[in-house]
Amino acid sequence: MSKIVLTFNAGSSSLKFAAFGADNGRLNHLAAGQVEGIGANPKGSVKRATGETTEFAFDRAAGKLDHHAATRVILHWLEQVGYASGIIAVGHRVVHGGPNLTEPMLIDEAALAILRKLIPLAPLHQPHNLAGIEAAIRAFPGKPQVACFDTAFHRSHPFVSDTFALPRAYYDEGVRRYGFHGLSYEYITSTLKKIAPQIVREDVIVAHLGNGASMCAIKNGRSIASTMGFTALDGLPMGTRCGQLDPGVLLYLMAEKKMTAEQISDLLYKESGLKGMSGISQDMRELEASDSPHARDAIDYFVARIRRELAGLAASVEGVEGIVFTGGIGENSSRIRKAVLSGMEWMGIVLDDEANDAGAQMISAKESRTVVFVIPTDEERMIAKHTIEIALDPRKHQ
Ligand code: ADP
């Protein structure tokens, strides 16, 4: 029987999962799927590497689906296709590892207690991650469970990249710029090592542009600065999140508009960004296809912020040898990549238009001093890799 590693990514209303074969030291993607509509009307499907897709069936009479019930639906499918008995470990995406967790961690009772203590730092995400972990512990008893943190990759930041200019006591109690999307940046860094070993030791800026969007400056394979801060709201505008905002705006919303914390949270997380600016959609494909001036404004602002951050991050690593685009927009939108990089010759960037339009892996021109890549990210594979390393390392089980 093949060894299989499962990965879980549990959100408030969804549970995404992937299965990898883990024989001969290689990770072989077998399937990926999701259950959506947790707490409401569930739906979900799984796609195998062969291309075969299965829609999950739900027992509507059983009432609202929670993470435990969603996990049972996934387990049932794993049993049907003969994967369940091969599972050797489950890896979990966990948004917050706080100031001290710098590496993935085997989950036991003590680890769960640490993760629960971090809930105040990510109240909208961490509880759902924990619900996914608890459901997986129940569904796969006795199998090692591993937490992989979106913040861990950024713990190498120097103080100036981690702090706000608040009284020191706030920093000490954990009010810091944590940075997120760390599993994506780690995956890109490890991929760059293979495809461009000459630049991974140098200074690289990675733009992860998806529904969530951030950028990261990397030196010698380590994160130096990130556009995301205390929460995943800061930095670039995103599908529905505002990105950088003057904190004075919050004071205005509270004092003049009498908005509650919950209303402000909804505004900043769910109603802003591309969706709020365009009034049309959070989906970049729809905005690119639209001739509405508000859609154009939203795209222009998105691009303008990326260009500002590119220059700012370049200063924090004192120059840039390589740039990587990843995430749904970064990987697929030649228009956004071109808009971001045009007129950047002063940074040593010359785009190869044909390569960019063709979606090539390297899209910079031969004469470009800075090499530009498009690399599809794979956070699930990164989780699976960490998970198998920890699950197979007896020292981690003492
Ligand atoms: P998430 O952060 O949810 O993982 P993704 O990385 O899948 O998101 O990115 C989703 C975004 O990518 C959406 O805005 C979508 O419109 C955009 N996208 C996907 N394909 C294209 C494309 N061909 N052109 C432009 N944008 C695209």
Q: How far apart are CA 241 and CA 272, in angstroms?
A: 5
pLDDT digits (tens, 9 = 90+) for 210-226: 999 999 999 999 999 99
Residue 398 has pLDDT above 60, yes or no: no
Helix, coil or strand: residue 314: helix
Closest atom of ligand 1 to CA, residue 211: 2
191 C-alpha to center of ligand 1: Å? Answer: 21
Write the CA distances from 56 to 6, 31, 74, 214, integer angstroms.
Answer: 18, 14, 8, 33
Q: Is 162 a catalytic residue?
A: no
Domains 4-149 and 197-374 share a fold: yes
pLDDT digits (tens, 9 = 90+) for 351-370: 999 999 999 999 999 999 99
pLDDT digits (tens, 9 = 90+) for 249-299: 999 999 999 999 999 999 999 999 999 999 999 999 999 999 999 999 999
0.75 surpassed by pTM? yes
In CATH, the architecture of 4-149 is 2-Layer Sandwich (3.30)
pLDDT digits (tens, 9 = 90+) for 66-108: 999 999 999 999 999 999 999 999 999 999 999 999 999 999 9
Pocket of ligand 1 (CB under 6 A): 210-212, 239, 283-285, 288, 327-329, 332-333
Pocket probe for ligand 1: among 241, 284, 340, 377, the residue whose CB has the most ligand atoms within 8 Å is 284
337 C-alpha to center of ligand 1: Å? Answer: 13
- Position 25 scores a pLDDT of 80
344: closest CA among 309, 316, 302? 309
- Position 357 scores a pLDDT of 98
Sequence-separated (6 or more) residues with CB below 8 Å from residue 395: none
What CATH number was assigned to the domain covering residues 197-374?
3.30.420.40
CB-count exposure of residue 379 (10 Å: 0-12, 13-18, 19+): buried
- Position 204 scores a pLDDT of 96
Residue 342 has pLDDT above 70, yes or no: yes
Query: Taking the CB of residue 117, how many other CB atoms lie within 10 A of it?
Result: 11
Query: Taking the CB of residue 398, how many other CB atoms lie within 10 A of it?
Result: 4
387 C-alpha to center of ligand 1: Å? Answer: 27
Name the closest-CA residue to atom 19, ligand 1: 328
Give Dmax (Cα) for the chain.
64
- Sequence length of the chain is 398
Q: How far apart are CA 192 and CA 148, in angstroms?
A: 21
236 C-alpha to center of ligand 1: Å? Answer: 15
Question: What are the sequence ranges of the domains in the chain?
Answer: 4-149, 197-374
Q: Are 280 and 294 in contact (CB under 8 A)?
A: yes
Closest atom of ligand 1 to CA, residue 327: 6
Per the prediction, the chain carries an average pLDDT of 95
> Annotated catalytic residue: which of 59, 150, 162, 172?
150
Mean pLDDT value of segment 135-142: 95
